[in-house]
Amino acid sequence: MMDFLLKKFISLFIMPFPLGMILLLIGIVLLFRNKRIKASFVLSLSFLWLFVISYSPFANAYLYQYENTYPALQQAPQDIAYIYVLGRGHHTDASQPITSQNHEVSVVRLSEAIRLYHQLKEQPTIIVSGYSGLYDPTTGAQMQKELAIALGVKAENLHLEPQAKDTQEEAEAEKKYIGSKPFILVTSASHMPRAIQFFKHEGLMPIAAPTNHLAQIKHTHYTNFFDVRALRKTDMAWHEMLGLLWQKIKGIS
C-alpha cells in the first residue's frame, strides 16, 4: 500500500498543470528577489507551457495517439467467456443513484462491456474490479456489480476482484482466474496500450475493446485557448506517457 500511495503522491508533482504552477511560483520568487531577467524568462516559460497544455488542437492530437492504438471492438467474438472491465473509481452515497456513485468513466466502461455482453449467445462472465480506497467502506468492484445488475446483467454472470488497486494488480489477479483463455478487455481508449502491456506481460490473451474516446481530431476548434477540457486531455495523455515509460524501465513490454 505504501508503494502505491508514494507513486500517487509523486505523480501529483510531475503532471502538466502542477509543473506549470511550479514554474510560475519560481518566476514570482525570482521577481521578488529582483532577478528580473531570470524571472521574465521563467514566467514567460510558465505562460507558454500553460497555454500549450490547455490549447485544444494540441491536447486532441496528443491524446489521439494513445486512443488510436487499438480500434473499437464493434462485434464481440462468439467464443469469448470473459469480459474484464477495469475499475476507475467511486464514492458511496446512498442518497444518489448508482450511476452517480460510480465514476463517470467507470459508467462508460461498464456500459461498453454490457453492450458486448448482449452480443454473445453464450452469456459470458463480466469481471469487475476496484478496491475500497482509503476512506470508502465499499469496494469499487461492488459498486460496479450493483450498476451492472441495475443495467440487466445477471448476478451469477459477475465476478468481483475487490483487492486490485491498479492495472498491474488487476492483471496479476486475472492470471489466476482466467489463465490462458482469450478474453475481452474493456478500458478507456487512452489507457488501453498500457493495460494490454500489463496483461500480456502476465501471459494473458486480452482482446482490446477501447471506449471513452475523448480526442476530437475531426472537429478541432483552433480558437479554444486555455480550455479546461483540453487541459484534462493533456493530463490524461501525459499520465499514459509516464506510465508507458515506467513500464519500459521495469521491463514490462
User: Nearest-CA neighbor of 191 among 243, 229, 232, 133?
Assistant: 243
Q: What is the pLDDT of residue 217?
A: 82
Nearest residue to 135 via CA among 227, 5, 223: 5
pLDDT of residue 2: 47
The larger pLDDT score, comparing residue 14 to residue 220, is at: 14
C-alpha–C-alpha distance, residues 206 and 116, integer Å: 14
Side chain identity at residue 128, one-letter code: V
Q: What is the pLDDT of residues 197-247, one digit of tens each?
A: 999 999 999 999 999 999 988 777 788 889 999 999 999 999 999 999 999
Q: Which of 72-76, 82-86, 130-134 has the lowest mean pLDDT?
A: 130-134
What angle (nearest 5°) sits at the alpha carbon of residue 233, between those of residues 230 and 239?
140
90-117: per-residue pLDDT in tens? 999 999 999 999 999 999 999 999 999 9
Report pLDDT for 239: 94
pLDDT at 67: 98
Angle at 59 between CA 58 and CA 62, to 5 degrees: 85
Exposed (0-12), middle (13-18) or buried (19+): which is 15, by Cβ within 10 Å?
Answer: middle
Where does the pLDDT of residue 5 fall: very low under 50, low under 70, confident under 90, or very high at 90 and above?
Answer: low
Q: Specify the pLDDT at position 50.
A: 97
CA distance 38 to 227: 28
- Give the range among 4-13, 28-37, 160-169, 223-232 with minimum mean pLDDT: 4-13
Q: Is 51 helix (H, G, I), strand (E, B) or coil?
A: helix
pTM of this structure: 0.90
Whether the pLDDT of residue 6 is over 60: the answer is no
The arithmetic mean of pLDDT across residues 1-26, rounded, is: 77
Q: Look at residue 132 and tell me whether its pLDDT is greater than 50.
A: yes
Indicate if the pLDDT at residue 184 is higher than 80.
yes
**16-32 helix and 228-250 helix, angle to the nearest 10 degrees:** 100
pLDDT at 219: 75
